[in-house]
Amino acid sequence: MLIIEQAAYDAIVAHARRDHPDEACGVVIGPEGSDRPERVVPMLNAAMSPTFYEFDQDDWKKLYDEMWDNDEEAVVVYHSHTATEAYPSRTDVAIAQLPTAHYVLVSTRDGADSLTYDGPVEFRSFRIVGGTVTEEEVKVVTAYGETGEN
């Protein structure tokens, strides 16, 4: 199960809407081994594409080094699909290389990118390990601690 704070959830959805029709991508960082996503870091999609995303390599290296020095990790890796459902594509599965991460997908299809869109935005989370996709529950909390979770 992914437990994520409302503010982080909202930031991911806002980023996906902002970059629509291109795919948005980023990470939510937390202490290594904590399984607790705390800090949203939007990444530049170097592919600038409606059908592909790739973290800008220099930015990713810089962030990776920072996380290493601080004993942090990418607890969540998120990206958006802009015309299809929020489910990992074959490409997503083939390239996924972070077995400890929650892979979050958001879909901005069918007008969900619009700020006036008042329906629910698809926001789903998966584990992708060894080519196998496993969906998991998403639990949004106001803040860690208040619920006794984590």
Partner 1 sequence: MAIELRVPTILRTFTGGEKLVTGAGDTLAAFIDDVEGSHPGIKERIVEGEPAELRRFVNVYVNDEDVRFTGGLQTGVKDGDVVVVLPAVAGG
Rounded to whole angstroms, how far apart are CA atoms 123 and 66? Answer: 28
Candidate list 7, 21, 48, 57; residue touching partner 1; CB under 8 A: 57
Q: Residue 146 Cβ, how far from partner 1 at the closest point, in Å? A: 30
- Which range in 7-15, 54-62, 118-126, 133-141 contacts partner 1 by CB under 8 A? 54-62
Q: Residue 95 Cβ, how far from partner 1 at the closest point, in Å? A: 5
Applying CB under 8 A, does 65 fall inside the site for partner 1? yes
Applying CB under 8 A, does 100 fall inside the site for partner 1? yes
Applying CB under 8 A, does 61 fall inside the site for partner 1? yes
Rounded to whole angstroms, how far apart are CA atoms 133 and 113? Answer: 26
The angle formed by the CA atoms of residues 49, 111 and 27, to the nearest 5 degrees, is 50
Q: Can you tell me whether residue 105 is helix, strand or coil?
A: strand
* Residue among 71 and 136 whose Cβ is closer to partner 1: 71
Q: Residue 99 Cβ, how far from partner 1 at the closest point, in Å? A: 5
Candidate list 60, 87, 127, 140; residue touching partner 1; CB under 8 A: 60
- Indicate the helix (H) or strand (E) that contains 14: helix 6-19
Per-residue CA distances from 29 to 38, 72, 75, 80, 81 (Å): 6, 7, 5, 18, 21
What is the bridge-based pairing of β-strands 132-136 and 138-141?
unpaired
* Residue among 129 and 140 whose Cβ is closer to partner 1: 129
* Residue among 98 and 141 whose Cβ is closer to partner 1: 98
